[in-house]
Amino acid sequence: MSETKRMTRAWLILLSLPAVLSAASTRSLINEGNSAYAEERYEEALEAYRQAGQNDAESAIAAFNRGAAHYRRQEFDDAKAAFQQAAQLAAEQGDPEIEALAEYNLGNALYKAGEGSAKTDPRSALTSLESSVGSYKEALELNPKLGAAAHNLEMARLRMKQLLEQMKNQPQGGQSKDPDDSDDLQQKLSENLQKQQELNRQRDELEKKQQQNPRDQSLSRQAEQQAEQQKQLEKDNREMAEQLQQQQQQSQQKDPQKQQAQEQLEQAADQQQKASQQMQQQQLSQAEQSQQQATERMQQALDALQGKSGEQQQGQQQPQQAQNPSQQQGQQAPADPLQALRQTPEDILNQERANRKRRQLLLMGSPQPVEKDW
């Protein structure tokens, strides 16, 4: 290599050094956020992702991971904004994989926002659900193999149909025609079933970490936190079972489906109590069995309230356990934080050359879009 070329290369490396350092800092912040996220310290994860985004405003991964943390904190409006930004950045950068995941998670956040407003503002809920359908479709166009998006697309359509029927039956006064609030019970049980499925996923992740690093003291704290969440779900199920019992006592005619739902909820609560105790003792394998049984009992209770026969329950039980967005079996859903892209100084140098070339073309007024050449 001639002295001139050597000097030119040295100058290029010096010019790209800020980009190298910035990328390393962004990657470090994203990894820091991912570590906090894995330990369910979502506020700390958010702060790291925010700093990564400030450090690199074009980082689709920083925006995506920020959305994932907001989603876990049930801050769905903030999650929507972050996933929209991630999808836009990924599209601009020609990264359909991240764009598809961002659209998928945007659909999940929109679905959750719709569920949250279904009781108080069903029209707004319908708008959110319709938007979620659009996001799931976009995700599937980008990645037809994203089975969770296809599944959640159908669930969003089904929920829209249910809401429309509910609005038709709603009297002008705004009060439900059903005096025993069965719809409210179904909604509450559906939400709790989703929470139980999410808790199952968290316990599974915790068990894997425990196997990999049995001496990690932070895992004990996470197990205790999950045990507390399990206790709350147990309490909710017992309250719903008691509410069903009161409805039965007040009614002149016994409803066998409500009776079945009550019994299933009581059994689910018993299994949840057992799971909570097992998690406190860090017996995670045993807790898995208890949680799975609780999940099945809750699904059967929901089926009973929805008026499905035992034959229908048996035939549909398995897929219905994955009906809620973010719970498709075999998928990480909502998609968890992505790893920071690893770029070497040489990668960044080549990218900086391409960017410089693109800027020069734009300055010359080139009317044609410039394709990536790296």
Q: How far is Cα 223 from Cα 141, in angstroms, rounded to an integer?
A: 39
**Residue 121: per-residue pLDDT:** 86
Q: How many CB atoms lie within 10 A of CB 191?
A: 15
| Phi/psi of residue 178, nearest 5 degrees | -85, 110
Work out the pLDDT band at 122, boundaries 50, 70, 90. Answer: confident
Tokens representing residue 209 in the block: 């970490």
pLDDT in tens, 73-96: 888 999 999 999 999 999 999 999
In terms of average pLDDT, the best of 13-17, 224-228, 361-365 is 224-228
- Which pLDDT does position 107 carry in this prediction? 93
Q: What is the mean pLDDT of residues 97-114?
A: 92
- Tens digits of residue pLDDT in 193-230: 888 988 998 888 888 888 888 888 888 888 888 999 99
Which pair of structure tokens corresponds to residue 161? Answer: 């149909």
Q: What integer pLDDT is reported at residue 4 of this predicted model? A: 58
In degrees, rounded to 5, the angle at the alpha carbon of residue 209 between the alpha carbons of residues 207 and 214 is: 95
Per the prediction, the chain carries an average pLDDT of: 76
**Which segment of 13-22, 74-83, 111-120, 121-130 scores lowest on mean pLDDT?**
13-22
Mean pLDDT on 363-371: 35
Ranges 15-19, 193-197, 332-336, 350-354, most confident: 193-197
- Reply yes or no on whether the pLDDT at 174 is more than 50: no
Among 23-27, 98-102, 139-143, 293-297, the minimum mean pLDDT is found in 23-27
- Cβ atoms of 28 and 61 within 8 Å: the answer is no
Type of residue found at 211 = Q
Q: Supply φ then ψ for residue 121, to 5 degrees.
A: -145, 75
pLDDT-derived band at 103, boundaries 50, 70, 90:
very high
Contact 64, 105 (CB under 8 A): yes
Average pLDDT of the segment spanning 274-296:
91
pLDDT of residue 186: 84
What distance lies between CA 132 and its chain's CA centroid? Answer: 13
CB 303 within 8 A of CB 312: yes
pLDDT tens-digit series, residues 22-61: 455 888 899 899 888 888 888 999 999 999 988 888 889 9
- In angstroms, the CA 96 to CA 139 distance is 9
The residue type of 80 is K
Between CA 343 and CA 95 the distance in angstroms is 15
| pLDDT band for position 191 (cuts 50, 70, 90) | confident
Reported confidence tier of residue 168, pLDDT bands at 50, 70, 90: confident
Q: Which of 96, 99, 117 is nearest to 107 (CA)?
A: 99
What pLDDT digit, counting tens, does each position of 295-325 carry?
999 999 988 887 754 433 333 333 222 223 3
Residue 287 or 333, more confident: 287
pLDDT digits (tens, 9 = 90+) for 232-269: 999 999 999 998 888 887 776 778 888 899 999 999 99
Least confident of 4-18, 122-136, 143-157: 4-18
